[in-house]
């Protein structure tokens, strides 16, 4: 008699491979970047526009450098750094705008186009999905903006050096006067603290509302804030709530380094103060509120369907 085939034996089947939580989170983040390409296309477009304007302005660069050479060293140093500080400031503002629009559409968009039905059929938990969405404004965008700004600074410096060749300007001195590494270090720190961790409650509140609202996400997100601020003004004749939300929204640097007089300082030894930032009670209160909003967003997504 022939022996029974092992193919029919239950032990011959292999259990399907399961992904680790880290790998699921990684692919969830990549999914967000695939679906929301404006997260990186928007900053790249703004960087391209600024570089075009910088290229046009370099026509007067030789005259500017000769004029700056007659100034005292401190003023000359500030004049050389100004375009690089402006570039950093524009990219920081871009990061804030992209973060706000992304959070307002993150959970609302998948309900609007009914793609939530497909994503819920995959073995990815609501917790992983919401956490991946929150990581875009809190981690991915600060890193992305820092890299784009660093490339912008290098392109600006190379263009300036090429244009000034043969003009009598000390190119090596120009490179030495620009502390690019310190600028990049400070910008990354500023983005992660003042424009990510500090306004985290704002971003997580938008995520929560985007998972609940059926339309007009930003209107529903703003109405409770306006109502509370108006009630406080009417009853207590104060505007502390509005000031607090505004400080979170713009990433007030006073909460990080009260001694920093500049908007975009370039000396990390005096302005990068992680100990002061991490010891701020307002930071941990805000993060606790942000976590509460994320937990509510996870539970909301679990029971929400397409619009």
Query: Domain locations in the chain?
Result: 19-303
Query: Please, which pLDDT band fits residue 1 given cuts at 50, 70 and 90?
Result: very low
How many residues are there in the chain?
A: 307
Residue 219 has pLDDT above 90, yes or no: yes
Quote the pLDDT of residue 239. Answer: 87
Quote the pLDDT of residue 116. Answer: 87
Query: Please, which pLDDT band fits residue 16 given cuts at 50, 70 and 90?
Result: very low
Structure-token match 């920081």, residue found = 92
- Separation of alpha carbons 110 and 238, rounded Å: 39
- DSSP class of residue 196 equals I
Query: Please, which pLDDT band fits residue 33 given cuts at 50, 70 and 90?
Result: very high
- DSSP class of residue 19 equals -
Of 112 and 307, the one with more pLDDT:
112
Quote the pLDDT of residue 42. Answer: 94
Per 3-state DSSP, the chain is made up of helix, strand and coil in percentages (nearest 5) of 80, 0, 20
Summarised one tens digit per residue, pLDDT across range 101-113 is 999 999 998 989 8
Structure tokens at 21: 């939580």
**Which of 25-29, 74-78, 257-261 has the largest mean confidence?**
25-29
Degrees to nearest 5, angle at CA 20 with 29 and 33? 10
Summarised one tens digit per residue, pLDDT across range 136-188 is 999 999 999 999 999 999 998 888 777 766 555 555 656 666 778 888 888 89
């Amino acid at each position: 008699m022939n022996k029974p085939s092992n193919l029919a034996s239950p032990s011959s089947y292999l259990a399907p491979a399961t992904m680790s939580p880290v790998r699921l989170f990684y692919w969830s983040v990549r999914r967000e970047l695939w679906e929301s390409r404006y997260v990186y296309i928007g900053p790249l477009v703004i960087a391209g526009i600024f570089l075009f304007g910088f290229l046009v302005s370099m026509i007067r660069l030789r005259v500017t450098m000769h004029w700056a050479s007659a100034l005292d060293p401190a003023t000359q140093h500030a004049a050389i750094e100004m375009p690089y500080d402006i570039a950093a400031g524009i990219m920081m503002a871009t990061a804030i705008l992209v973060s706000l629009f992304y959070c307002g559409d993150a959970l609302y968009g998948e309900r609007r186009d009914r793609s939530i039905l497909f994503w819920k059929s995959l073995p990815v938990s609501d917790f992983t999905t919401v956490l991946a969405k929150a990581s875009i404004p809190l981690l991915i965008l600060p890193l992305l903006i820092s890299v784009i700004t660093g490339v912008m600074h290098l392109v600006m410096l190379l263009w300036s050096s090429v244009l000034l060749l043969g003009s009598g300007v000390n190119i090596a001195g120009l490179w030495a006067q620009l502390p690019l590494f310190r600028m990049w270090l400070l910008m990354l720190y500023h983005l992660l603290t003042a424009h990510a961790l500090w306004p985290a409650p704002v971003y997580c509140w938008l995520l929560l509302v985007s998972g609940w609202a059926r339309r007009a996400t930003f209107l529903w997100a703003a109405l409770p804030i306006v109502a509370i601020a108006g009630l406080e003004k009417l009853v207590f004749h104060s505007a502390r709530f509005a000031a607090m939300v505004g400080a979170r929204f713009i990433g007030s640097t006073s909460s990080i380094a009260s001694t920093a007089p500049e908007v975009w300082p370039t000396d990390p030894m005096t302005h990068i103060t992680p100990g002061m930032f991490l010891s701020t009670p307002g930071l941990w209160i805000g993060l606790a509120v942000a976590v509460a909003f994320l937990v509510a967003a996870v539970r909301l997504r679990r029971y929400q369907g397409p619009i």
